[in-house]
Amino acid sequence: MFGAFAPMPIRLGGSDATENWTAEQQSRVAADVVALFRASSLAVLTLTSTGSISSYHGQNGVGLGNAPSVVVNGAGDFTLNWAASYQGPLWVKTFHEGQVFPWNVQQVQVHASGAATVLPCAAAITLPTSVRVIFTGTGSATIEVWGSWIPLPQIGTYDGSPDKENSVTEGEATYASVWYQEIQGMRGSAFTKKPGTFVHCENLALARFWGYHAMRLPEKLRANSTPARSDERLPYWAEVLGVGTRPGEETWSLRQRCALAYKVALGPTFDRVNQAVAQLLGDTLVQVTFPPELPLSVTPPSTYWYPVNPGAPGSSLTGSPTGTWTSRRAKLLVEIQWLPTMTWAEFRELIDVQLWQLLDTLLPAWMTWTVYQDTGHLGFLLDISHLDIDGFDP
């Protein structure tokens, strides 16, 4: 798989676990890398009682050139100041080229350095980019800080996915290698089979040509025929399905949202909507429900229909009471929770943007929705109904 026939990309699949890399193994590696990254500290440094940094290892770089500056407040009293933001690493630049990200220290811990058993200092966070360290004796200490910097990666960042499939055509051998053996066999015994010869170069060039044009291109056509496996054709599916795009969005995220929109093309049944919302929100979703039923003889509050109960002008998209058509019986309730593994910006982007776009596309025009978080009683964290109806009538 790593030879001259197909150095990259690696085709996943095959039955030999020692020679091939399966989709399950690749997704497991992606999940492990994400877990390792999320559990890692922002920076670890060794500070002496004289105020000098002897070593530094941080997510922004390794070496004293990446270490924070040291401000002397007094004898044994120092403030470590990081920059307000840093350029993202290579894998982040791939998705957010040229962007810098804010540095935010949220926790600090002091460890005894070397063979010492008594902590010579104490540390506290004074600003999101500053830590104050006060020594009570001489020596050195290891300062470790945690917090947030670049966008937290997902397994899709490393092309991992729970539903990733093995290649049934190239899992064992690449197209080029199969064509190479076929062309080499058709040459006959009069032609040499030694590598590094002109015949070998010609066979390899022909194998790559036919492997790509006769097999890889038709495979790409099949893959791009649906959004769940689309790559080059993904912008087309986003336009056709009405899925909004965001600057710097990763391909895997857009592909996932297009696939969700494609699944409910046959109609917005509750099961299809519930499944789409669950796949988008993951563990952030608690449940998708409807308000408690009321007898048909009872008109629920916030029910407006012209001319029986036209409602207030401010509740209409047109500014006129005649344009208000809404009912609690046609409202979807999405209960969510904010996970500690997500930043507030990531959470709001997921709820206010991605979920809004999904429900706005899936639900019929006569339905509204409300997103809330239950904190012991039915109370709202967000109200993003596209008719902007405040509150929910229990």
Confidence of residue 9 (pLDDT cuts 50, 70, 90): low
- The CA-based angle 286-341-290, given to 5 degrees, is 15
- 47 in Cβ contact with 78 (< 8 Å): yes
User: Environment class of residue 228 by beta-carbon count within 10 Å: exposed (0-12), middle (13-18) or buried (19+)?
Assistant: middle
Q: Is 383 left (phi over 0), alpha (psi -120 to 50) or beta?
A: beta
Alpha helices, DSSP H, located in 325-384: 344-348, 356-362
Strands 331-336 and 368-374: parallel
Within 13 Å of residue 281, how many CA atoms lie on the same side as its CB?
29
pLDDT score for 68 = 95
If one compares 258 and 157, the residue with the highest pLDDT of the two is 258
Confidence of residue 317 (pLDDT cuts 50, 70, 90): low
> In the predicted model, what is the mean pLDDT of residues 139-144?
90
Q: pLDDT digits over 12-49, tens only?
A: 877 776 677 888 888 888 888 888 888 889 999 999 98
User: Environment class of residue 310 by beta-carbon count within 10 Å: exposed (0-12), middle (13-18) or buried (19+)?
Assistant: middle
Q: pLDDT digits over 177-200, tens only?
A: 888 888 888 887 878 878 878 888
Residue 176 has pLDDT above 70, yes or no: yes
pLDDT score for 318 = 59
Confidence of residue 219 (pLDDT cuts 50, 70, 90): confident
Residue 386 has pLDDT above 50, yes or no: no
Residue 5 has pLDDT above 70, yes or no: no
Alpha helices, DSSP H, located in 10-135: 23-39, 90-95
Residue 274 has pLDDT above 80, yes or no: yes
DSSP letter at 312? -
Give residue 233's Cα distance to chain centre: 21
pTM: 0.58
Q: Which residue has the tokens 């220290």?
A: 105
Tokens of 17: 């676990």
- Of all residues in the chain, the percent with pLDDT exceeding 70 is 82
Residue 376 has pLDDT above 60, yes or no: no
DSSP letter at 304? B
pLDDT score for 357 = 81
pLDDT score for 44 = 95
> What stretch of H or E contains 186?
helix 175-187
> In the predicted model, what is the mean pLDDT of residues 242-271?
78
The secondary structure of 217-254 as a DSSP string is: HHHHHHHTTSGGG-STTHHHHHHHTT----TT--HHHH
> In the predicted model, what is the mean pLDDT of residues 224-243?
87
> CA torsion sign, 29 to 35 to 39 to 40?
positive
Confidence of residue 3 (pLDDT cuts 50, 70, 90): very low
Q: Which residue has the tokens 């496996």?
A: 229
Confidence of residue 323 (pLDDT cuts 50, 70, 90): low
> CA torsion sign, 279 to 280 to 281 to 285?
negative
Which residues are paired to 305 by β-bridges? 309
CA distances to 262, 279, 374, 378 from 336, rounded to whole Å, are 24, 13, 8, 12
- 12 in Cβ contact with 26 (< 8 Å): yes
Tokens of 92: 């982040």
- CA 132 – CA 110 distance, rounded (Å): 11
Residues 6+ apart with CB under 8 A from 62: 56
Q: pLDDT digits over 47-86, tens only?
A: 998 999 999 999 888 999 999 999 999 988 999 999 999 8
Tokens of 238: 């986003």
pLDDT score for 93 = 59
Main-chain dihedrals φ then ψ at residue 138, nearest 5 degrees: -100, 165
Average pLDDT of every residue of the chain = 79
